[in-house]
Amino acid sequence: MKQKQGPIANARPGFDRRGGLRELEPLAILALDSLTKVYRDPMTLKPFTAVDGVALALERGETFGLLGPNGAGKTTTIKMILGLANPTSGRVLLDGRDPRDPEARRRLGYLPENPCFYDHLTPSEYLDFVGELFAIERGARRSRSAMLLERLGLGAHAKKPLRKFSKGMTQRLGLAQALLNRPTLLVLDEPMSGLDPIGRAEVKQLLREERAAGTTVLLSSHVLAETEAICDRVGIMKTGRLIEVGSVPGLLSTGVREWEIAVERLPETLAAAFRAEGHRVDAVGSRWIVRVTEGPALQEVLGRMSRDGVFIHAVEPRRQTLEEHFMRALAGDGEAGS
């Protein structure tokens, strides 16, 4: 599978046909090559394809959203990325290594959809246990644990038994353990689950900080508005196949739904005329908003406003949201893009 160009510092040396050194393209931090998983129904023994030939490479430092309805194959794909399930065919490479290689897992962070911890431990004790599994030096892991608990709003609860934690607090602790080993690849399955609006805003900011620090993030989520706000690229899965991949701005760059014209005032006769022609006209605070759906009509409306001396504050196109694009992609079942 062809990898994308990246920094030369990450490139692998090779030899050209004349025997000289040349630069090869860098290893993808995560590469999926024709990844397929087939299960058998335990009752009928009929095969069922959960993941069907998925090919994908993640760029270093990007935030990638894996989207799809329930049963699309997202969680099965994540399990194969983590080495928790073996592919029927195809392969997964983490920095060029098999995901079951301990070295590949050493800089991997993971938050499951429904994290579950030893409920008799406190957050400090649990993170200390996780840090010991990663062979992080005692002083370093305790310092890192205290910083993460404070950053995720759990500092005041560091000594509270986990059985007393709410769903949102458990989710925050799950993110703390996923970040404890300073991962280069962070895999998050429904990271916003159980969080209140403040918690979701804090997690989004934390993910932006991780991206700025060079961490690659793969997240699966049903909260498409928030996925749109934090992801660089997204992939849409349906019935085990990756039907579309692209940057968020690229996927949403087409399909202007309407233009919004914000004006200082609007004579009632002009407002009535616009409504009669099928345009939406609404008073919003001290201003008026006229919504036009067709390009030629936009030019005509602006011309009439100008002739009537209406002061125009702004004209803004309103494009489809990621949720709208997602629904269209599932309905159309198009081929994967790039």
* pLDDT, tens digit (0-9, with 9 covering 90-100), for 96-125: 999 999 999 999 999 998 898 999 999 999
- Say if strands 287-292 and 256-263 run parallel, antiparallel, or are unpaired: antiparallel
Average pLDDT, integer, range 70-79: 93
Residues 6+ apart with CB under 8 A from 254: 319
Give the per-residue pLDDT at 8: 33
* pLDDT, tens digit (0-9, with 9 covering 90-100), for 316-330: 877 777 777 788 788
- Percent of the chain with pLDDT strictly greater than 90: 62
Q: Which long-range contacts (CB under 8 A, 24 or more apart) does 300-303 make?
A: 301/261, 301/274, 302/261
For residue 132 the two structure tokens come to 């010991």
What pLDDT band is residue 337 in, cutting at 50, 70 and 90? Answer: very low
- CATH code of 256-319, in short, is 3.30.70
Average pLDDT, integer, range 218-223: 88
Residue 5 scores a pLDDT above 60: no
- Percent of the chain with pLDDT strictly greater than 70: 89
Give the per-residue pLDDT at 16: 54
Domain ranges (residues) in the chain: 256-319
Contact 236, 67 (CB under 8 A): yes
- Bridge partners for 56 per DSSP: 32
What pLDDT band is residue 333 in, cutting at 50, 70 and 90? Answer: low
